[in-house]
Structure 1
Amino acid sequence: MKITTIAFSLMMISLTFTSQGQEIKPIEVKQIMEKVADWQIFNFRNTFTHEKFHHPLDWTNGALYVGMVKWAAMADSDKYYNWLKNIGREHDWKLYYRKYHADDHTVGQMYLDLYKKYGNQNMIEPTKKQFDFIMLHPAQTKMNWDALYCQDRWNWCDALFMSPPVWAKLYNITKEKKYLDFLMVEYKATTDFLFDEDENLYYRDENYIEKRDNGTKVFWARGNGWVFAGLVNILNELDSKSHEYKYFLNIYKRMAEKLLKIQTPEGHWAMSLLGQKYYPTPETSGSSFFIYGLAWGINNGVLDKAKYGKAVDKGWKAMVSHVTEDGMLGYVQGIGEAPGKAYADKTEVYGTGAFLSAGSEVYKLHGGL
C-alpha cells in the first residue's frame, strides 16, 4: 500500500511538472479564448457573477468589450464583431450616463475600435461631442477623495484604464492634438497623486496611501492591473518617437520591473501585491491584465523576452487552469477597491475581458499571426 501511495504521488508530481513545462501553442490559446468568449456571450445576461446583471454600457461590460474586440480580430467568424456592433446600435453609440465619470467612458474604447474597422462616423460622434464638451468645461475639483465631485477627475487608479485610452484613440483617429493634450494633463495629475515612487505601483485612491495591511503598503492587484493594461492601450495609439509615448513607456517599464519581482510561484499576482503571504488565493482579473501588459512589451520590443517570457508563460498557464470545462473564468474578484476574496465558481465580465486581452498577446508571443 505504501509503495502504491508513493508511486501515485511521484506520478502526480511528474504530471505537474510536465504540465508546467508544456509549450504554449497558438492554436490552443485561440481555442481557450473562443471557449471563454462564447461562454461569456451566452451568459451575458445571467447571474453567474458576484453582482446583478450590469447595464450594457457600464464599465464592467466596457472592460469586457476591450478584450472582446481583440478576440474578434483573431476569430474565424464575424459573429463577435456583430455582437459588439449590435450593442453599439442598441444604445445609439452613446457613452453611459455620467458625463465626466471615467467609468462611463470605458465603452468608448469599443466604439472607437469598431470605427477603425468599419469607418462609420456614427460610431464616434457621441463620444467626440461629449469629450469636446469636457474640454470646454473641465472639472475644477481637487483630487482629494473628500473633495466635491472629486470623481469628475481621475482620482482613483482604476480610472486610468477607463477613460485615458479613449482620449488616446480619439487623438489617433482625428489627429487633433487637443485630445492628447487633455489626456497628458490629467494623467500626470493622477500619477503625481497616486504613484509610489519607491514601489513603482499605484495606490487605489488617496485613502490607501497611509494604510497598511499586515505591515505592508496596500497596492490592489486589479487596480494596478487597470493601470498597466490602460498604459498598453494608450501606447498602442501613440507615435513611439513622441515625448508623450516616452512618458507612458517610462511608467510602464517601471511597473513591469516591479511586477516581475512580485509574481507568485504559482504564476498569479497576490490581491495585495506586496502581501503574498496574506493573500494566497489566486485572482484572475488583475493577473490577466499583468500578463497582457508583459506579453505586449515583449511583442513590441520594449521588454526582453529572455527576462520576462517565463513570467508570461507561467502566468498564462495559471489563468488557463482556472477556466472551467464550460468556459467560465473562475477566481475573479468581485467589484471592489481593495484586496479581498475570490472563488473558483465566481466570475465577472471584466475578468473575461482581461483574459481575452492577455490571450491576444500570448497568442502573438507564441507565433500566432
Structure 2
Amino acid sequence: MKKDKYFYHIGLLISVLSFLCLSACSNLNTEKNTPNADSVTETANRVADWQLAHMGTFDYVRTFQDHTEYSHGWIQGALFVGLDRWANTTHSERYQRAVVAKGEMNRWRPGEKTWHADDQVIAFSYASVAERTNDLSLLQPTQNAFQEILANRATNSLAYASDPTHQGEATCQRRWCWCDALFMAPPVWAAIGKLTGDPAYLDYVDEEYQATVDYLFDQEENLFYRDGRFLTQRNKNGKKIFWSRGNGWVFAGLPLLLEQIPQDDPRRRKYEMLFQRMAAKLITLQQPSGFWPSSLLDSTEFNVPETSGTGFMTFGLAWGINNGLLPREQYLPAVNDGWRGLASAVDDSGKLGWVQQVGASPEKILPDDTQLYGVGALLLAASEIIKL
C-alpha cells in the first residue's frame, strides 16, 4: 500500500512538473514570436514613407477620392493620429515635422462642419503638437468651435435619419450617433480639457459617450452596432452585423481617451471596463491568419483579409497589455498574430493593402485597396508593439 502511495505521489509530481514546463515553454514561445522592434520599425517607416510620398493625388484610392483629399477631414485626420503617435514614440523629428506641417497648412483649424465628429479628429494631432511644444494657442480654433457646441447643446435623437440640409449626413450627427464618432471626437475633447484644465470638456464627453453606449452597444455580444440602422438588421446568413472597422474605431479610441482622463477620476473605471469587455470578445473573433473579418460574427461573408479593423484592434490589445489592463499571457498571442497579418499586407514599396474602402458596414475588399486611415491604424499598432 505504501509503495502504491509512493508511486501515486511521484506520478502526481511528474504531472505537475510537466504542466508547469509546458506552460513555461508556451509562454517562452509566445514571447519568442513577439515581433522584433527593429523589424516593426522598418515596416512602419516604409508604410509611413509611402503614404507621405503619395499625398499629392489620390488616384490609387478606389472610392471617395474627394473625401480623401479633404485636408481637414476624418480620413486624413485618422492618418495623422497614427503618424503623430508613431513620431512621438520613435522620437522621429522627420515625422514630427510632417505633423506640424499638416497643422500649419490647415491653420490649426478643424473641418468646416465643426459640429461633426468627423471634422474634429484632425485636432487630436494639433493637441499633441500643442502639448509637445507648450503652445496652447494652436488649440484656439478648435476651442472656439467646441465652446459654440457647449453653448448650443444638441438634444436630438440618436436615431439615424437623412438630413435634408446636409447631403450625405444624418440629423443625429450633431451628436455621436454612429460608433466611428467615438474615435473621432471624444479623445480630442478630452485632450483639450486636459491641456486647458477646463472640466467642461470631459463632462461633455462623459455624457455624450454614455448616450452612445446606451444606444449602440450590444450587452450580449460586447460589440457596437455601427448606427441605429443596424440594430435589427441581419446579414444574408442571418447574423447580427458588427462591422470590424466600426468596432476598431471604438476600441482604438478608448486608449486615446483613457490617456486624457486623470487616474483618480471615478469615471475612468467604466471606460476601462468597456475596453476589457470588448477585448475579451475580440480575441475570440480573430482568424488564424491574424486578421479580424470585416463582418465580425460571420467570417464567411467576406473571407479575405481586412487591415484597417485589424490595425485598430491590434493597437488596442497591445496598449492594454502595456498599460496593465489586459493580461500579457492571454492577449500577447493575438497581438503577435495581428501584427503578422498587417505586415503581410505591406508590399515591397511600403503600400498597405487589403484596406476596406470608405463605408458603414462589411463590404468586399480587394488586395490593392488602401486608404489613409488604414495606414494610421498600422502606425498606432506599431507604436505600442515596439514597447512590448
Residues 141 and 147 of structure 1 are in contact (CA less than 8 Å); yes or no, is this contact kept in structure 2?
Answer: no
Aligned match for 1:315, one of 338, 341, 352: 338
> Where does 1:1-369 land on structure 2 (aligned, <5 Å)?
22-46=33-57, 47-51=59-63, 52=65, 53-75=68-90, 77-146=92-161, 149-213=171-235, 214-365=237-388
Query: Cα offset for 1:147?
Result: 7.3
The DSSP-based 3-state class of the residue aligned with 1:343 is: coil
Please say which of residues 89-98 and 221-230 is displaced more in the overlay: 89-98
User: How far apart, in 2, do the equivalents of 1:331 and 1:228 lie?
Assistant: 20
Residues 80 and 125 of structure 2 are in contact (CA less than 8 Å); yes or no, is this contact kept in structure 1?
Answer: yes
Deviation string, structure 1 residues 333-353 (Cα, Å, up to 9, x no partner): 000000001121110000000
User: How far apart, in 2, do the equivalents of 1:170 and 1:197 lie?
Assistant: 31
The DSSP-based 3-state class of the residue aligned with 2:339 is: helix
Residues 33 and 336 of structure 2 are in contact (CA less than 8 Å); yes or no, is this contact kept in structure 1?
Answer: no
Structure 1 vs Structure 2: percent identity of aligned residues?
39
Q: Which has the larger radius of gyration?
A: 2
Q: Which residue of 1 aligns with 2:3?
A: none
Query: Cα offset for 1:22?
Result: 4.7
Aligned length: 347
User: How far apart, in 2, do the equivalents of 1:239 and 1:134 lie?
Assistant: 24
Deviation string, structure 1 residues 217-236 (Cα, Å, up to 9, x no partner): 00000000000011110011
Q: Which amino acid aligns with 2:195?
A: I
User: How far apart, in 2, do the equivalents of 1:108 and 1:81 lie?
Assistant: 15
Residues 40 and 352 of structure 1 are in contact (CA less than 8 Å); yes or no, is this contact kept in structure 2?
Answer: yes
Please say which of residues 168-177 and 296-305 is displaced more in the overlay: 168-177
Residues 221 and 271 of structure 1 are in contact (CA less than 8 Å); yes or no, is this contact kept in structure 2?
Answer: yes
User: How far apart, in 1, do the equivalents of 2:114 and 2:256 lie?
Assistant: 22
Query: Cα offset for 1:94?
Result: 0.5
Deviation string, structure 1 residues 151-181 (Cα, Å, up to 9, x no partner): 1110000011000110110111112111110
Normalising by structure 1, we get a TM-score of 0.91
The DSSP-based 3-state class of the residue aligned with 1:186 is: helix
Q: Which amino acid aligns with 2:36?
A: K
Normalising by structure 2, we get a TM-score of 0.87
Unaligned 5+ segments in structure 1 are 1-17
User: How far apart, in 2, do the equivalents of 1:294 and 1:140 lie?
Assistant: 34
User: How far apart, in 1, do the equivalents of 2:270 and 2:323 lie?
Assistant: 17
Deviation string, structure 1 residues 195-221 (Cα, Å, up to 9, x no partner): 000000000000001011111100000
Q: Which residue of 2 aligns with 1:12?
A: none
Q: Which amino acid aligns with 2:45?
A: E
Unaligned 5+ segments in structure 2 are 1-28, 164-170
Please tell me the root mean square deviation across aligned C-alpha atoms, in Å: 1.5
Q: Which residue of 2 aligns with 1:14?
A: none
Query: Cα offset for 1:248?
Result: 0.7
